[in-house]
Amino acid sequence: MKVGFVGLGNMGSVMARNLIKAGHTLTVYNRTRSHAEELQPLGAKVARTPGEAASGAEALITMVANDAAVEDVIFGPGNVIESLPAGAVHISMSTMGVALSHRLVTAHRERNQHYLAAPVFGRPDAAVAAKIFITVAGPAEQIARCQTLFDAMGQKTFVVGNEAPAANLVKVAGNFLITTTIESLAEAFALIRKSGVDPQKFLDVLTGSLFAAPIYRTYGAMIASDNFEPVGFRMALGMKDNRLVLAAAEEAAVPMPMASLIRDRMLAATAQGMADADWSAIARISFREAGL
């Protein structure tokens, strides 16, 4: 397919590579142009604006940092919304707010463009191996049309509804569950460590029995060893995601005390100099509170 790709950060750049590898034709854009130029030797064309990446594309993928960046790319100067051909599809793969996704539904519809929300689960190493999980929502025929793209980037695609914002909600709710897993492990390990029990043995029990899931293995190992390097997902990005779930909860009038707790943990971590640490480093707050 003829694909425009906007946003070549940790995740976006490897996802774009996987698309190229699968034989798709890419025009790429990144604010910091050098990241785009790295893909030139592989055959990608480098665009000077997001609009240029969109122009003539069958599908335009956005994978940018936050809602403001999505708005800028889509509605800003040199933007996508004016350049994407009618009949083409915008696939927003960023983790973004439900409210903004509703706005994109309307904006694309007005221009006879199609729109899918397709946020992903997985850290950069999973993206490299095309092992991320893609959660997609939007019109069924557009999802079918883009399946070849999803297959090139991820190990599995989950279709969660035919209204795009459903996928964004599933993503922010899923990320919320990652954060509660981190915090609950943090509290449990604070207790285990302070009581003199071997944290590694506790981790073995968890991941060898009821909690035999990737998420417990990944974060359990970091927390058990009190070592949060390398940084897979920055605290500041985690705070952004926490804000998204809190905003969705406010919109729907749903109290989520655990989301509020995560907010306070991340603020404490930020206040204590961990804004650039991996988001699992909120465990350090539990450890410090316990006097460890």
Provide the minimum distance between the beta carbon of 240 and its own copies in the complex, in angstroms, as a whole number. 11
Q: Pick the closer one to its own copies by CB: 9 or 161.
A: 161
How far is 99 from 71, CA to CA, in rounded Å? 12
Rg (CA), the chain: 20
The distance of closest approach from Cβ of residue 174 to its own copies in the complex, given in angstroms and rounded to an integer, is 6
Closer of 83 and 280 to its own copies (Cβ): 280
The answer to whether the peptide bond before residue 230 is cis (omega within 30 degrees of 0) is yes
Least separation in angstroms between residue 190's CB and its own copies is: 5
CA-to-CA distance for 31 and 9, rounded, in angstroms? 10
> Which of 156, 171, 194, 201 is labelled catalytic?
171
Phi-psi region at 139: left, alpha or beta (left = phi > 0; alpha = psi -120 to 50): beta
Q: Please state the closest distance from residue 111 (CB atom) to its own copies, in A.
A: 26
**Residue 137 near residue 117, CB atoms below 8 Å:** yes
Give the nearer residue to its own copies in terms of CB position, either 74 or 170: 170
Residue with tokens 């790429």: 28
Q: Which is nearer to its own copies, 16 or 185 (CB)?
A: 185
Q: Is 156 a catalytic residue?
A: no
Residues that are catalytic: 171
